[in-house]
Structure 1
């Protein structure tokens, strides 16, 4: 009997062009492409976020509402095992609703997320945003982040970064090369959100081979509905003196700014 592959100890499938395979009953099997960056047996939060956003969009199909904020609390390591997402409406309304999604693995809730949906109103007459545009993906250099980060998810991304970036500050674009859920249509917002957690790895202030700085939450605010494809980051990372850090990113799609993302970090030396 052959020994387990240390890079893929759970024997995750690598032959599919998707991050998840639906198993029925709101349960999904992660593939190797959903593998996390810190541990070989965990899932990366980025595709998990995309999956829960996909389930939220499937659960609530009201076209008169738009996803304006998604906040996810990460309650522990997310093993790369069959993953169940359950959704419910916490606060229903004519123009404002609050939905919740819980992500469970092996009987344990690992992520709890809430999403505010706000009514669609034509505000084009007063729309304004002075957020500076960042260089487009064609203006930045291709980079292989798998030289710095491990895991199947990072390896599945097409990445561009600016060559002038400094530790803790920089611009980047990321685009998935895999479909979120095998055989299922995915809402553009869910596909976009399936990349956003990458923000914590594109402009690192610390070397992940010497320091751990995983985020314990992910909070995304959207002022318009983003397009799927390239996700742009204008990112700044700060680290305090008592083990806490913060990754803040202005988010873009190919048409310009769409909102913001915040991630609180627990910072400690690598064991």
Structure 2
């Protein structure tokens, strides 16, 4: 398993067994696909504009499960602009759209003198114990990620994560696309309910970034909330070694298993 995906041509990609899902081993874990979408959006932007804009927000709508088979990706510009543009990407399998993403690409500026945040710091990763998501989740994908975690209660945890594999074989991937190939795991870091008893998949993911990540490890300050009528929310502040760099929200459909 040299990577999560290999490129077949300009718009087609083959997943490896490393994408094997946590809810079903016959389906792809969506995390690597979200990173692949971000990579293709950035490659398209680089080809058109030389990378002059940066990804500030990306929102994914997950339309269904994806078997561990080849996928296709198409990108189009919805709102062109000199300093801001909106791009849409559609990942499809066998002619069926499976994920629709919209990304805002925004101009860069030197705001180092203004940089800062009142968000609380995370514990250093060396203060957190190694943790295997395979203790509660099935599939190969979660076993390809190094994790360190401190859980204060179910639904509340800090974790540092690092993928062991590259996103795409033989291609350089930006730190942002690499991060976006990891962030969907947030929903499985600190579940409030046992996955064998309650299903709680996310049907979307929205990530806002204030900085491109630095370093191999990404910090997740994650809280899970479940409402009384079948809805839930996983909310995460993302960190690197400098501090907060963005947020991720995932809406959940919460479904108790019937015996």
TM-score normalised by length of structure 1:
0.91
For structure 2, the 5+ residue unaligned runs are none
Which residue pairs with 1:40 in the alignment? 25
Cα distance in 1 between the residues matched to 2:114 and 2:162: 31
The DSSP-based 3-state class of the residue aligned with 2:8 is strand
User: CA contact under 8 A between 2:224 and 2:235: conserved in structure 1?
Assistant: yes
User: CA contact under 8 A between 1:165 and 1:203: conserved in structure 2?
Assistant: no
In the alignment, does 2:122 pair up with 1:119? no
**Structure 1 residue 64: Cα displacement:** 2.5
Q: Residue 127 of structure 2 is aligned with which of 105, 114, 139?
A: 139
Partner deviation per Cα, 1:148-167 (whole Å, 9 max, x = no partner): 001111011101001x5201
Which residue pairs with 1:31 in the alignment? 16
In the alignment, does 2:43 pair up with 1:58? yes
Cα distance in 2 between the residues matched to 1:32 and 1:238: 32
In the alignment, does 2:60 pair up with 1:75? no
Cα distance in 1 between the residues matched to 2:251 and 2:243: 25
Equivalent runs, 1:214-253 vs 2, <5 Å = 214-227=201-214, 229-253=216-240
Q: Residue 168 of structure 1 is aligned with which of 152, 155, 169?
A: 155
Equivalent runs, 1:182-197 vs 2, <5 Å = 182-197=169-184
Which residue pairs with 2:74 in the alignment? 86
User: CA contact under 8 A between 2:42 and 2:51: conserved in structure 1?
Assistant: no
In the alignment, does 2:256 pair up with 1:260? no
Cα distance in 2 between the residues matched to 1:270 and 1:175: 32
Cα distance in 1 between the residues matched to 2:169 and 2:115: 37
Partner deviation per Cα, 1:38-76 (whole Å, 9 max, x = no partner): 011111111011110111111101433110000000001
Which residue pairs with 1:209 in the alignment? 196
Tell me the matched-pair count: 255
TM-score normalised by length of structure 2:
0.95
In the alignment, does 2:87 pair up with 1:99? yes
Partner deviation per Cα, 1:245-267 (whole Å, 9 max, x = no partner): 00000011222210100000000
User: CA contact under 8 A between 2:7 and 2:169: conserved in structure 1?
Assistant: yes
**Structure 1 residue 126: Cα displacement:** 2.2
**Structure 1 residue 124: Cα displacement:** 2.1
Cα distance in 2 between the residues matched to 1:202 and 1:81: 26
**Structure 1 residue 139: Cα displacement:** 1.5
Question: Deviation above 3 Å: which 4+ runs of structure 1?
Answer: none
The DSSP-based 3-state class of the residue aligned with 1:18 is coil
For structure 1, the 5+ residue unaligned runs are 1-15
Cα distance in 2 between the residues matched to 1:35 and 1:229: 22
Cα distance in 1 between the residues matched to 2:31 and 2:214: 17
